[in-house]
A and B are shown apart, each in its own frame.
Chain A
Amino acid sequence: GAGVSQSPRYKVTKRGQDVALRCDPISGHVSLYWYRQALGQGPEFLTYFNYEAQQDKSGLPNDRFSAERPEGSISTLTIQRTEQRDSAMYRCASSYSASGELFFGEGSRLTVL
């Protein structure tokens, strides 16, 4: 596609529910990144992949958060047993190579009630 596509754009869920956020990177981009951005703050790194391999997950807050990219293209960020503190904008980015410029998507805004 023309850019990084994320879905859903908005997700409202009740505390305790699981959510899955999807990222479709720019075609041909090797690397894919997940960030979380609180209002008025800069994005905070969560995890990234080169192809299907998860290279770094040091930014995932706890074991309720997981991500996968099974075929080296689309990625899913899953949050289990959501809590109110999980509410944020979740942004995906991709880059052509591991050292290339990051292109960010427009994000998925998660609200946990």
Chain B
Amino acid sequence: GESVGLHLPTLSVQEGDNSIINCAYSNSASDYFIWYKQESGKGPQFIIDIRSNMDKRQGQRVTVLLNKTVKHLSLQIAATQPGDSAVYFCAHGGNYGGSQGNLIFGKGTKLSVKP
């Protein structure tokens, strides 16, 4: 069945260091993956996405890597800042003729940035 999970529930990093958050998925047919950031008391906020025809995608200070062989997804945050402290979720997009609405979320990793 489809499931998305995370290797590490918590991650603590020093300000300025790079952060890596990992995620595993079980459905080899998955073709769309997204990372969300959720700050306390707020809704999830889109960070970056990647489709299965790619293995790397970069945004502003963030990079998503997809390894389809081992069904693994990671989010790299460069020069982590205190404002990056949040819970990070990976999610797999469902397939409804292109709709990404049925997202299957993992449990989340809490990132804490130490000043």
A68 at the interface (CB under 8 A from B): no
Chain A min CB distance to B41 (Å): 7
Query: Would you call A91 and B108 a contact (CB within 8 A)?
Result: no
Binary per-residue interface labels of chain A (73-109) against chain B in the complex, 1 for a CB within 8 Å, 0 otherwise: 0000000000000000001010100111111111100
- Tally B residues with Cβ within 8 Å of A: 24
B53 an interface residue at 8 Å Cβ cutoff? no
The distance from the CB of B114 to the nearest CB of chain A, in whole angstroms, is 22
A42's contact among B45, B91, B94, B100, by CB below 8 Å, is which? B91
The reply to whether A56 and B102 form a contact with Cβ atoms under 8 Å apart is yes
Residues B108 and A48 in contact, CB atoms below 8 Å apart: no
- B115 close to A (CB within 8 Å): no
The answer, yes or no, to whether A1 is at the interface (CB within 8 Å) is no
Chain A residues within CB distance 8 Å of chain B: 4, 31, 33, 35, 40-45, 48, 50, 55-56, 58-59, 91, 93, 95, 98-107
